[in-house]
Structure 1
């Protein structure tokens, strides 16, 4: 049984423990809505989609040529009398007599009595009959697509929770659905904190930094299908932080901040959260991203996650934890990140009793084996390393690094898993 994150105190949690506990913040999914298929790209399917028809609807020709009414087990005859034509979009209900054929185009339903198609390139066509070259090479049933070959009527075409990409939209359209039931989009409020944080486009103070985190979070949230409520940058001020958190809780399904959750003298997010709601764990044994906070805000019990301030740590903790919260809002079960194994090409440093996420670049060798190497500097503020990386190398808390040739676990950043 998974403990609520409020039952764990401030003990140091593993990544898996934190992922499981964090999911308990979501008390119920957001529900669903029906929308036109044309507006469904990127959304999540709320209920499993059943096929109301066979796809294809009819057994049909996979090639232009002729469809045979073959009188098996007789040998394939060389010359076949023509009994008519069937083009795509036409349906012939009249059976084709045994030993005769019809001209047919790709996609046209096979008439009753026929079950084999010969491609046009193998034919010598004449006005009233067709001669077949190399009849000994013909196999019964060749070049025919069976009704329901793609999806049979009643089958599950897509499961609940499926993210609707271009291929999924085409599949749904092929079943005749003009509207579908999808999960409601999570409304996620975000803001950055810190007197040193400056909006892009503004003059940069001598001790300032430009705010990268809100834009990173916006991109990550949009990729997950969320609607983003951008509340800007908060100064290091307790009252301002409390006001922003209260407003965010009232208009969103999830609140995310970056920075302000460590034990520094000017970090106010944790204090504001304790005064407005309920604080849960805030220490996780991982790098980058150890300082974190989470809990509920206000009477609405809106889930809150306070991510670290360093930009790489923001991305890593989002992928490991916030994505789980979004899945729960969509009504999906807790699932670990998808992983593949790869061979390390260089020495990868780590430390026991914490999980390290190292930015990496994977590739395949000439034999198709997956390899990975770490990017250069791994500081949690080095965003260029995330731009260069196409995966995270995950070294669990029982690993003290990896040597060249060892197998390591990777999580893709490019969507191919």
Structure 2
């Protein structure tokens, strides 16, 4: 009796349970973009470290309004005024400069009139004490938690960490991902293609899917449909993740599963309630997680998006490694769905999703044109134009 197909969410949960995040290393900020921080990051300093002017103008005491004042010096960013300001005195100040001791407010230059060292108010002036001032600690204070473990290091978070006093951050080491294609019919892209042959592009497609992640790719090339060659290749590779495409089904030439088992792998699950991508398998081989993807290019793409990317993110320490959907209106009706989750290639036009006419898993043109995948859960009824549907963005 054939085992029931595994739901997509359960398959992902079981896949991520096969391995824990990798070891932690400290890397300079310049090398940390796109990584996931391994520990909470707290501020090592207070920002701003002193009261700063938010505008060009004059630092004054609010109690001295409406003036006049005598200008006794200047404060600029990196060149603060070193003295103390007494009642009736003012200091010319520029945006980002520290407020001199004795001042608490900035009179903006558009509301000031100066003649030599004499200064008077020329407009309404500041309405209250502290106006036009960025107070010490306005952004954060020393000891504040700024970034949580498992957060991805975006450009803004890197800038935040650097401003908070960090020159390096703890992250998980890069994931070694070995990618192989299997099939005697495959030839490299650009090579002469015979009648019974096909250009192999899944490896470059899968590698490109991982290009923005902290991955060290290992290209295993095109492996022939021979047990001895497959077993030898699987035994020799040193990686955290081994990804194969092709040979994952049940035909006489689908040798990936038996070859993996002969090499010592344990298969955790095989066959998912997913279209396209049903024959995907997952397991462990030594210290590596193994993913056997279908050979059809659209199936390889979808399973790469739904499983390979989240696995790499999980090993990299991501708090939320899964792909995040969003909801948009449907542009055209869709029929009721069957027992498998369907991921339809689609285009977004005027904010609505339109499913591609061709959904065959071997057809790349519709995939290349697609800007999203429409997610149709198992057994959902027919959907009408304007109904809300989940999508996964592809660009």
**What TM-score, normalized by structure 1, do the two folds share?**
0.88
Match of 2:9 in 1: 16
Q: Which runs of 5+ in 2 are unaligned?
A: none
For residue 281 of structure 1, the aligned residue among 251, 254, 269 is 269
Match of 2:293 in 1: 307
For residue 201 of structure 1, the aligned residue among 168, 172, 190 is 190
Deviation of the 1:41 alpha carbon: 2.5
Output the CA distance in 2 between the equivalents of 1:16 and 1:337: 11
Checking the alignment, whether the CA contact within 8 Å between 1:20 and 1:334 is kept in structure 2 is no
1:206-217 to 2 correspondences below 5 Å: 206-217=195-206
Output the CA distance in 1 between the equivalents of 2:348 and 2:140: 35
Deviation of the 1:154 alpha carbon: 1.1
1:1-400 to 2 correspondences below 5 Å: 10-26=3-19, 28-71=20-63, 76-77=65-66, 79-92=68-81, 94-135=83-124, 138-248=127-237, 251-276=238-263, 277-297=265-285, 300-333=286-319, 335-349=321-335, 351-362=337-348, 370-400=351-381
CA-based RMSD of the aligned residues comes to 2.1
Which SS does the other structure have where 2:373 is aligned? strand
Checking the alignment, whether the CA contact within 8 Å between 1:222 and 1:228 is kept in structure 2 is no
Q: Which runs of 5+ in 1 are unaligned?
A: 1-8, 365-369
Deviation of the 1:302 alpha carbon: 1.9
Match of 1:367 in 2: none
Which SS does the other structure have where 2:207 is aligned? helix
- Higher alpha-carbon deviation: 215-224 or 134-143: 134-143
Question: Between Structure 1 and Structure 2, how many residues are aligned?
Answer: 393
**1:376–1:123 Cα change, 3 Å:** farther
Output the CA distance in 2 between the equivalents of 1:411 and 1:79: 63
**1:10–1:301 Cα change, 3 Å:** farther
Output the CA distance in 2 between the equivalents of 1:162 and 1:334: 8
Deviation of the 1:335 alpha carbon: 4.8
**1:333–1:84 Cα change, 3 Å:** closer
Checking the alignment, whether the CA contact within 8 Å between 2:344 and 2:374 is kept in structure 1 is yes
**What TM-score, normalized by structure 2, do the two folds share?**
0.93
Output the CA distance in 2 between the equivalents of 1:182 and 1:409: 32
